[in-house]
Structure 1
């Protein structure tokens, strides 16, 4: 994407870009407890979205508007029907931490060739090997860097040509399958909070092989369904891996040594923009400020699709979770005993809700609130939660990965869902089998 000439900058978009940058800075400041206004980040991002609303593609605008309307409607119903207390000042905070991470990741464009990115030279890795490289690269690096790896790899592939369906599916499945075992995923953080007595070694013993089978299924299926001879893949050569591996090493340094109290998402939010600034500073402060200014005026407003979808999906999640909590706030439990049949039913229900457009975190959280799990049952529940997250986010049209692919590369979430239904069905069979085997080993 070439930078827009300064003469064509629209003041409304420039102001929106400044607000997005302000949201990022305020989010980073909150990590250090330097900024006391908790809702300021959400206000900046939503105001920027309002300024850019007319520029958002019609399909994305319609979808975002529906999500926001449903979320707001559910909050109103919760207040009127259940007389529940609503934090109206904070209803715009949903998904702001994800949005600011995406904004921080966008600064990757300032790293590397300081005179501008050129099309890669040489022959690309194509075919089955290329698809395997894409899945493996996103899976391994994504297990640490989460969603930012999709943009690192996807943007690199997009330099040659617009991303094709098999490339997008490789990005999707490479990342989502890492939720089965990665200790750095948001899914694992949620599950560890809900099931503090789970045995991670058991999760790893079942989740990692299942993830590897997912990769084999992906490469085999896409090789049969699509002609991959001219489809570029991600090369696992040292030059291709230099940036993501360096970023992963830095993230691990901060996570384990420098800032162990911060989650991975927060570390990525401040680390990538910081590295981008440091790599530009040798060219001089004036050069660095000019590149940041140009990035703010052009790239950040261009993220309007991603930002609007995530913010509106966050409002929907807030409304739905608040409504469900108010409606099911009793002391009854869904199952008297959480065994394999109950685990399979729970997994299927969460995946089905993801296909219907709900994020798996909603199903997992609601299910956990309706169960009374002893220590022995927590590992089984943890596996169900992680597996439903991995499968549900791959196929769910409103999952974080599919919203990102839609906002970044223009692919419809419904298109991704249709292409992933067969994959999700196969993974469901494997997960059900794993649940049955796990029950005999617990």
Structure 2
């Protein structure tokens, strides 16, 4: 087992307890919302010194701004602030991320997975994109390491390979119900019509794969660039999990949101799949996941929790200072949505994670009915584009730490891609605006 300190192991246990408290809350037997947020924040606090410096500073700024705005709202404008509940923002999204992480327990440790023969060239790049994209819809960031490490066995990863990894994963944010982006969107806009989002987001994601292949073929000599060969049976798990989520959403537990279903369903399936090898084996794998994998999620956990506090602080202050009827836009239509997309995407270039822009936007809008679906498209498009090009996004920091590709180089190599995807995203936003009218 990888070496961790007692402090990190305690943090992993607290994060697991936060997930368990969230699942218990779904039953309705007891209210656990305070417990969930306190446990997750306690785990993040214990891991604070381990967070990369830039990410830590960003989270600290968000926390200071959020808490400061709550103080101003109460003591300057006389707003009623529910201080015990101030840590609840995005706690259920973090619980979903923790639940999704357990999907890595499906399958034997050390299993190499199913893959075909060696492929190179533009076809190899496309297969790498497809593999990361479809496996990443469930496995998220861990897929990049799984595929990247497999490619790295033949030598250091090249720029085309790293770009395929980056774009394959980030484009999944456009439609995957298991991505953190969708979790945030569904929490901020619970009346989103997911079918309409998927109808536009999935084709847009496929265009990302086509664009990646064509652009990299033009810019690089791909003759000796290895690709990831994805066997059809490799897709069985993500397709099965998606079908299970839809089954629960429409028939088994229609009262629960997709975020809630994912939070309890994925870890449950992961545990059940291991019980075939006995309870001791299952307990060992869950323990290893808790003590190693969960503390390793410190960056994303802290960022999402901090952004939740910022959202609460900003929305409370705006409501107190301008009145509850004030909104950034009187009507949230296609022009306003396009402006919002551009603003969030540009902020990602400056180093801000898209969740910050999305959260701020939601806090100063009063979304009604179909506006929520349009907002969702803005959030998902800006997330997909912003995380691909943002030098401080989780995917680019991970690629830098593991494979040595700097965030700045990734940004410059993705500028053309981000520009074209932005134009396509604006078209998708316009399409959604017509669809929901």
What interval of TM-score do these two structures reach, taking the shorter chain for normalisation?
A: 0.7 to 0.9
The answer to whether residue 175 in structure 2 is matched with residue 178 in structure 1 is yes
CA distance in 1: counterparts of 2:284 and 2:330, whole angstroms? 63
Residue 23 (structure 1) shift: 0.9
Aligned residue for 1:246? 240
The answer to whether residue 147 in structure 2 is matched with residue 157 in structure 1 is yes
CA distance in 1: counterparts of 2:390 and 2:200, whole angstroms? 24
Residue 50 (structure 1) shift: 1.8
Alignment of 1:295-374 (within 5 A): 295-329=289-323, 331=325, 341=335, 344-352=338-346, 357=352, 359=355, 360-362=357-359, 364-366=361-363, 368-369=365-366
Alignment of 1:175-214 (within 5 A): 175-178=172-175, 185-186=182-183, 189=186, 193=190, 210-214=204-208
CA displacement 1:239-284 (0-9 Å, x = unmatched) = 3212212222222222222122222222222122112211221222
1:294 aligned counterpart, secondary structure: helix
CA distance in 2: counterparts of 1:200 and 1:109, whole angstroms? 27
- Which of 155, 165, 169 pairs up with 2:166? 169
The answer to whether residue 15 in structure 2 is matched with residue 25 in structure 1 is no
Aligned residue for 1:79? 74
Alignment of 1:95-106 (within 5 A): 95-106=90-101
Aligned residue for 2:264? 270
| Contact 1:310–1:400, Cα closer than 8 Å, also in 2 | no
- Which of 200, 212, 217 pairs up with 2:211? 217
Count of residue correspondences: 420
Residue 428 (structure 1) shift: 3.7
| Contact 1:303–1:407, Cα closer than 8 Å, also in 2 | no
CA displacement 1:89-138 (0-9 Å, x = unmatched) = 12222222222222222222322115x34487764544433443454456
- Which of 33, 42, 65 pairs up with 2:37? 42
CA displacement 1:210-239 (0-9 Å, x = unmatched) = 454344323323444455556555545223
| Contact 1:29–1:35, Cα closer than 8 Å, also in 2 | yes
Q: Structure 1 residues 324 and 414, CA, compared in 2 at 3 Å: closer, same or farther?
A: farther
CA distance in 2: counterparts of 1:325 and 1:398, whole angstroms? 33
| Contact 1:173–1:218, Cα closer than 8 Å, also in 2 | no
CA distance in 2: counterparts of 1:89 and 1:386, whole angstroms? 29
| Contact 1:99–1:311, Cα closer than 8 Å, also in 2 | yes
Residue 298 (structure 1) shift: 2.0
Alignment of 1:137-148 (within 5 A): 148=138
The answer to whether residue 381 in structure 2 is matched with residue 391 in structure 1 is yes
Residue 363 (structure 1) shift: 5.4
- Which of 44, 53, 56 pairs up with 2:51? 56
1:82 aligned counterpart, secondary structure: coil
Aligned residue for 2:286? 292
1:36 aligned counterpart, secondary structure: coil
TM-score by length of 1: 0.77
Residue 27 (structure 1) shift: 1.1
| Contact 2:392–2:407, Cα closer than 8 Å, also in 1 | yes
| Contact 2:349–2:389, Cα closer than 8 Å, also in 1 | no
301-310 or 184-193, which deviates more:
184-193
| Contact 2:130–2:209, Cα closer than 8 Å, also in 1 | yes
Q: Structure 1 residues 363 and 355, CA, compared in 2 at 3 Å: closer, same or farther?
A: farther
| Contact 1:351–1:392, Cα closer than 8 Å, also in 2 | yes
TM-score by length of 2: 0.78
| Contact 2:341–2:378, Cα closer than 8 Å, also in 1 | yes
CA distance in 1: counterparts of 2:176 and 2:391, whole angstroms? 12
